[in-house]
């Protein structure tokens, strides 16, 4: 009986994110965005950005999202790390990239991608650190 009570304490003390097999993260991210004209290899613009990203990771179905649109990206989740690669074409824009997020425990965030359309190429390199957050904070952040 003691073990049953102890198990109940663990269930009640676990965060809702863990109990639902969903992890919510808030990530402080630094990014470098470079826009290049492909035909001349000329850098048209280079910007450094600082932002906060919110992620919802479904560990049971190996997927993640950074918005509330209902669109999920497949991910490989192993050893507390979610990784994913993407290659999409939409409205004439080709986006290719990869991402890595340490989720358990939360930590490093890395994402690199390129987006190209015609003679223009955008390169984005993002690095940062993540920490756990609650569902309400993450979903509010994903809606902004």
Which tens digit of pLDDT belongs to each residue from 101-143?
999 999 999 999 999 999 999 999 999 999 999 999 999 999 8
For 8, 31, 127, the CA distances from 51, given in Å and listed in that order, are 39, 8, 10
CA 62 to centroid of chain Cα atoms: 13
Which tens digit of pLDDT belongs to each residue from 23-52?
999 999 999 999 999 999 999 999 999 999
Q: Model's pTM, two decimal places? A: 0.78
> Residue 77: which pLDDT band, with cuts at 50, 70 and 90?
very high
pLDDT at residue number 15: 42
pLDDT at residue number 13: 35
CA distance 121 to 37: 6
Look up the CATH number of domain 21-143. Answer: 2.40.160
């Amino acid at each position: 009986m003691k073990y049953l009570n102890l198990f109940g304490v663990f269930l009640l003390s676990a965060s809702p994110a863990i109990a639902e097999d969903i992890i919510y993260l808030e990530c402080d991210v630094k990014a470098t965005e470079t826009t290049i004209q492909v035909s001349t290899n000329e850098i048209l613009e280079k910007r450094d950005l600082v932002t906060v990203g919110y992620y919802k990771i479904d560990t049971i179905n190996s997927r993640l999202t950074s918005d509330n649109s209902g669109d999920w990206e497949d991910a490989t989740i192993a050893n507390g790390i979610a990784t994913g690669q993407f290659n999409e074409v939409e409205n004439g824009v080709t986006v290719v990239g990869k991402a890595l997020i340490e989720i358990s425990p939360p930590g490093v965030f890395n994402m690199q991608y390129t987006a190209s359309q015609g003679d223009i190429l955008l390169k984005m390199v993002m690095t940062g650190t993540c920490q756990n957050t609650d569902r309400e904070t993450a979903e509010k952040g994903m809606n902004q």
